[in-house]
Amino acid sequence: MIVLGIETSCDETAAAIIQDGEILSSVVSTHWLHNSYGGVVPELASRAHLVLLPPILDQAIDESGISLEAIDAVAVTRGPGLIGALLVGIAAAKAIAFARNIPVIGVNHLEGHLWSAVFESSDLKPPFLALLVSGGHTMLVDVEEFGKYRIIGQTRDDAAGEAFDKVAVLCGLGYPGGAQIEKRARTGDSAYYEFPIGMHGQRGYDFSFSGLKTAVATFLRKNPEAKHDHLADLLCCFQEAAVASLIEPTCRALRQSNYQALVISGGVAANLRLRQRLGEEAERVGVRFLYPGLQLCTDNAIMIAWVGWKRLLKGQKDGLEMSGEANFPLPGILK
Ligand code: KG4
Ligand code: ZN
């Protein structure tokens, strides 16, 4: 079965084609135009999707080596995300589905991230514990099976990626800043300063990043020269605290349950320091540690096409009345 995936939930316009779970093509275009604004400007994102999506769809079809006529279904991100941005992808998906008389499937963006490691580890089988860390979400999900999820912990304030992005803006690095911070932190001294670890010593599996973000802002206000004289050290210490804020609740969950595997996903899962530290902890607890390839951590349409394909195999699809949902909860949430 050949599925076309479309992703336009935020600031990446993406299209991909998969055949029976194998990737035929994938095209992603990131909107760097938000860089100077310090965050995504929703109206600019919608307009960029409008301009970029048609040529990206053409390119995905060209590179896949199949024709538009060979596609069996269209999967598209339905939410969560920026509503104007979502609607551009959904309108395109519906137009193709209507013209070709094939099914359209609205996919939850977070569910796409949850399964994105399957392309790196084809033997990925539930149940597993998933740490989803992106620019908009930070959560621990107990994945019982495809379509059955239990959120056991989530951030009480900022998402992890949001904290990276805000600190990057504070340091004059522009948006999005996660990858920039990681690059600069490599040469930094982790003993330079101790930033607070969110939810340190608490119980449960929730996360918190606003205290850490405020601590960096306060430090910079008191030590403005650090931005120039000790940027690498400052970013290294921030990254260590951010990684520790993700690791503590995750390890509590791993120790208190009988998970066989820990899977990370989302843009922040591209962070090599996070991967290294989580890998060490997983080994200590005796749990398999899995993660997506770097291109599949940040937003892409492969993960959307894959979830759409799985839903189709289960006989699930949507009608042309399907619309975008800015706050679209994960499907199949268990209490
Ligand atoms: O999953 P994603 O592409 O979009 C959302 O669904 O939110 O994640 C984007 C987030 C941004 O906050 C970006 O700064 C962060 O992922 N990110 C990173 C790294 N690469 C991207 N954060 C830390 N280290 C990285 N290497
Ligand atoms: Zn995402």
| 268, 277, 295, 302, best to mutate for ligand 1 pocket (most atoms within 8 Å of CB) | 268
Distance 136 CA to ligand 2 centre (A): 7
Encode pLDDT of 172-216 as tens digits: 998 889 999 999 999 999 999 999 999 998 999 999 999 999 999
CA dist., res. 224 & res. 207, Å (int): 28
Domain ranges of the chain: 2-114+298-313, 124-291
What's the topology of domain 2-114+298-313?
Nucleotidyltransferase; domain 5 (3.30.420)
Q: In whole angstroms, what is the distance from residue 166 CA to residue 179 CA? A: 13
Measured from the alpha carbon of residue 175, the closest ligand is: 1
Q: Ligand 1, closest atom to CA 113?
A: 1
Mind listing the pLDDT tens digit for each residue in 296-305? 999 999 999 9
Decide whether 2-114+298-313 matches 124-291 in CATH topology.
yes
75 CA → ligand 1 middle, Å: 23
Residue 335 above 80 pLDDT?
A: no
Is residue 267 lining ligand 1, measured as CB closer than 6 Å? yes
Q: What is the pLDDT of residue 38?
A: 79
Q: Among 34-38, 163-167, 255-259, 308-312, which is the least confidently predicted range?
A: 34-38
Classified as helix, coil or strand, 188 is: coil
CA distance 56 to 305: 15
Query: Hey, whose CA ends up nearest to atom 14 of ligand 1?
Result: 178
CATH number of 124-291: 3.30.420.40
Please tell me the predicted confidence (pLDDT) of residue 132.
98
Taking residue 327's Cβ as centre, other Cβ atoms within 10 Å add up to 8
- Give me ligand 1 centre to Cα 134, in Å: 5
